[in-house]
Amino acid sequence: MGGSLLSKPAPVSPILHPGVQKQHGESRASGNRRLSFYQKKPLSEDTMKEIFAAGAHQFTGLPWFQFLVHTELCTMNYDGLSLKDDERVSHMVRMMENLKVPQTLKKPADELVPFIFDVKQLMHENPYHNFCHVTDVTQYMYTLILATNVAGRLRPIELAATYVGAVCHDLDHPGLSNAYQNSEHTALSRQYDGESPLENHHLTMYKRLRDKHGLLAHVESEEDKCRFDDVVSHMILATDMAKHGFLMKKIKAELEDPSFNPLHTQDGVNLLLQIALKCSDISNQARPWKVANRWNEAVYKEFYHEGDLDRDSGRDVAPLLDRRSNQIPKSTVGFIGFVVAPLYENYVAIMKRCAQLDDQIDARAVEECLVFLHKNKERYQKQADGDFVDQDEEDIELQNFPEDLREGLDSSGAASKLPGINGAHQTDEARRLNAKVKRSKLPMEKRET
């Protein structure tokens, strides 16, 4: 794995989308310094594993889940499309280990690896809903729960279920939507009476894998077993876009109560994880432009295949599925504006509520996602207007942060307005963390205080 995950350092630029400039400035008032979640992290996964094996992470003064924030899999700058399947499997296993799923389920990691391989085998070679998508969604969910510190507030059984829910959210996806299943009266549609046939099928397949691999066989508490299934079930069923409006209204209704803290009740945790998985499931356009654009090509390839089947069956073709008339840039602008951005804004709102009531929770990583989401929307709008946009254009946020600009920001205090977390201090943060790790390896009498 090593350093191959991200090819370039990705320091953050002070350029912000106007709609989030104010809230970023407010969120940085504390001066707390963190790495950007679009930057390459100072610790590779292999280095991190060595540090954990030696117990050196304990001397950094960070809880295990906050230590993981500094490692390379905790990033929004992840290009799953450029990986081979064996690399994807490796990442899935590493995330499972990092979140302590084997310890929680009381099963050695090597006994859980076949579960990951079965997930891979169940994913069809669809243009979009394939094993790459599953890995991408799981990695995004992994980053969200670590970057926001939610991982430290979930019960271990809930954290393990969060990982499994993300891994299993699209099991055995046929590459054709619920609308198609119901229009064709397929076996899946008949089996579930037309009610979320795909999501119910994914849930059924999860239960088969759960039993086949004995995921809960060594969990002694019946309450924990039920809680595990409850979390996974709520997460998977929430990915049906037919329920999107209901969940958005539910968030707004819950937030009207100023005392509502999602992390204090099981229902609240379920809601938070449902929204986090939904964000992860449609996170492509919150990735850097080059990655986002390639995912967009994949999803429309799958859409158009379904549209062709509808046309062949004599049915009307939905606008998004019609390769003859749909304009991808224009459609993507609408999708981001009416679906993705409002979802992320609601997720920011729910995380800010958590942060108000719990000073360990941090919503800034999600705010940073909005920066990239809006920038990508602007690019698609340019394309829709007939302007040229380089498909390989590098985000300015991912370019090297000039030393003179960094010094100027430090002296002016403008660094507090960087998106999400303070990218200007990335080098210092890496140096401090590495120094702590280095000290932890020295004999006690030689360590500096």
Domain CATH number, residue 305: 1.10.1300.10
More confident residue, 101 or 37: 101
Q: What is the pLDDT of residue 65?
A: 87
Q: Residue 176 falls within a domain, yes or no? A: yes
Average pLDDT over residues 367-389: 94
pLDDT attached to residue 63: 85
Q: What is the mean pLDDT of residues 411-425?
A: 38
Q: What is the pLDDT of residues 343-363, one digit of tens each?
A: 999 999 999 999 999 988 988
State the average pLDDT over residues 53-60. Answer: 68
Instruction: Check residue 228 and give its pLDDT.
Output: 99
Q: For residue 411, tell me if it sits in a domain.
A: no
Specify the number of domains making up the chain.
1
Over pLDDT 90: what percentage of the chain? 68
| Nearest of 215, 238, 203, 23 to residue 107 by alpha carbon | 215
The pLDDT confidence band at residue 432, using thresholds 50, 70 and 90, is low
Average of per-residue pLDDT across 410-417: 42
Q: How large is the average pLDDT for residues 153-172? A: 99
* Residue 409 resides in a domain: no
What pLDDT does residue 433 have? 61
Q: Which residue numbers belong to the known binding site for Zn(2+)?
A: 133, 169-170, 281
Q: Is 184 a domain residue?
A: yes
At 3, the pLDDT band (50, 70, 90 cuts) reads: very low
pLDDT band at 418 (very low <50, low <70, confident <90, very high): very low
Annotated binding site: 133, 169-170, 281
User: Catalytic site residue 70?
Assistant: no
Looking at the domain assignment, is residue 398 inside a domain? no
Q: Is residue 32 included in any domain, yes or no? A: yes
Q: Supply the pLDDT for residue 255.
A: 96
Q: What's the mean pLDDT in 365-373?
A: 90
Average pLDDT score, the chain: 84
Domain membership of residue 268 as a residue range: 2-393+419-446
In this prediction, residue 423 has a pLDDT band, given cuts at 50, 70 and 90, of very low
Catalytic residue (one of 70, 129, 201, 213): 129
Which residues, including other chains, have CB under 8 Å from residue 118's CB and lie 6 or more apart?
A: 209, 212, 213
- Whether 405 maps to a domain, the answer reads no
Q: What pLDDT does 393 receive?
A: 78
pTM of the model: 0.83
Stretch among 39-43, 152-156, 249-253, 342-346 having the lowest mean pLDDT: 39-43
- The answer to whether position 280 is within a domain reads yes
Q: What average pLDDT score do residues 242-249 get? A: 96
pLDDT tens for 281-314 read: 999 999 999 999 999 999 999 999 999 999 999 9
Residue 412 confidence (pLDDT): 44
pLDDT bin (cut points 50, 70, 90) of residue 364 is: confident
| pLDDT for 31 | 34
pLDDT band at 10 (very low <50, low <70, confident <90, very high): very low
